[in-house]
Amino acid sequence: MRERLLSIARQASSRTPAGRGVAEDPLCGASAQGEPPQAVPPSRAFDLSPVPPPKQIIFNKASGRLAAAGESIPSMKTFSFRYHTLPALFSLLFPHPDRKLSSIKTVACIRPGKLGDLFVATPLFSALKKYGGIERLSVVCSPENEIVVRYNPFVDDCHVVNFHRIGSVAGAIGWMRRQRFDAVFDLTPGFSRTNFLMSYGAGSKTVRAGIEKGIVADCYHVHVGNRATHLADRLLEAGELLTASSFPRTSALEIYSSARDRTDAGAVIDQSDSGEGIVAINLSSATPQRQWPFGHFAALIKLLCSLPSVRKLVLIGVGPQTAWAATLSHLDERCIAVPSMPITAVTEVIAACRLLISTDTALIHAASARAVPVVALYIGDAEAFSRWKPYHGLGRVIQSPPGLPVSAIAPETVFAATMELLKEIAP
């Protein structure tokens, strides 16, 4: 299997597009074989324009909840058993509590899912503690994403739940009831029946907050609807409503690591040798649509190795892509395959690099948290991109044509964007 992958890598890396000339190394000015084709779709720099301040706050008497001015209140006229029966029943049993939002001091945030799902909530956690007057912040999360907040100093405690097991969910509800939280913040965009049950189960006097709940928005006291902004900013806006406070929008995504993580990262990249000339490449993605092919990575590595200024290529893989990293590391002596390690340690490896090349995964958020520039590959979905795009910082974004996976993005296009970014960040 390893020999077959290596053979494919060599074939892909040996393919030279017609009309290729000599490219100039953006860091040292030396020429290198391999110039990107002329008809390369332009990459986009990140949109770093200031986020508009929160809109005027209004009180909707019909639903008894806070919302941003101009936000449409979902209509409940069209009956749907799935979306109406459970919310209607709980709305009758547990009416909105009458309490001032400024009195909220303890909050439980619920977020199942994977690493990136909790990553985008980290600016909210620090803002709630720094500016929102929250004295205790608890996070109810899944085993998959707990590590994102394991060492976060703004999170007081973490309750890990298997959201696919009724017994585990029931235990979490009982735990929240015993803690008597002032508010429960459902961080998942859209309607999740499990999150909805947990929010109501926390107690009849508990304030409920959520985002993008659509037709069940009226069941939440504090709600922020769909916005053409990053998911982190939507969560911050809801946090402002919940605490009657104002949060700055200069926050970055956050992840904290342990001494063991830093030691493990140092075994991969000597920290004294970090920075200039080291490029990290993430080979893995969570879905087939976002997975770049093995042959594309091989061709890109060949192009990057043609630059004398690239001293090391750090290859990061998870699951099946761990074997990819091991195989591709044999293409050039400058390639290093990162061994299996937690995201906190991988983040420290990325922090030692000049830039990261990755598809839409949590590692883009990890790079943003460490202010490492990224070349990010996304599918051509405007809503998904507005939610999950790199959050603040320097970089380039390449999107596939609408309806096509990221495999439609050519290695030459990524190489051109990388060259462009290396010129911009050159000392």
Which pLDDT value is given to residue 110?
A: 97
Which pLDDT value is given to residue 414?
A: 96
Which pLDDT value is given to residue 150?
A: 95
Say which DSSP state 120 is in: T
Which pLDDT value is given to residue 384?
A: 79
Q: Which of 173, 179, 183 is nearest to 133 (CA)?
A: 183
Is the pLDDT at 319 greater than 90, yes or no?
no
CATH superfamily of the 2-48+258-425 domain? Glycogen Phosphorylase B; (3.40.50.2000)
Is the pLDDT at 329 greater than 80, yes or no?
yes
Q: What percent of the chain has pLDDT over 70?
A: 74
Confidence of residue 64 (pLDDT cuts 50, 70, 90): very low
CA-CA distance, 176 to 200, in Å (whole number)? 10
Angle between helices 321-328 and 294-304 (to 10 degrees): 30
Query: Is domain 57-243 given the CATH code 2.40.128.110 in the classification?
Result: no
Which pair of tokens denotes residue 267?
A: 């075994």
Is the pLDDT at 46 greater than 60, yes or no?
no
Side-chain half-sphere CA neighbours of 104 within 13 A: 33
Range with lowest mean pLDDT among 17-26, 145-154, 188-197, 418-427: 17-26
E strand or H helix at 108: strand 106-111
Is the pLDDT at 10 greater than 60, yes or no?
no
pTM score, whole prediction: 0.79
Is the pLDDT at 422 greater than 80, yes or no?
yes
pLDDT tens digit string along 86-133? 665 655 555 555 555 658 999 999 999 999 999 999 999 999 999 999
Tell me how far CA of residue 123 lies from CA of 73, 86, 362, 401, in angstroms. 27, 32, 15, 31
Which pLDDT value is given to residue 389?
A: 85
**Higher-confidence residue: 183 or 50?**
183
pLDDT tens digit string along 65-74? 454 444 443 4
Which pLDDT value is given to residue 53?
A: 38
Mean pLDDT of 352-360: 94
Which pLDDT value is given to residue 5?
A: 54
CATH 3.40.50.2000 maps onto the chain at 2-48+258-425, 57-243
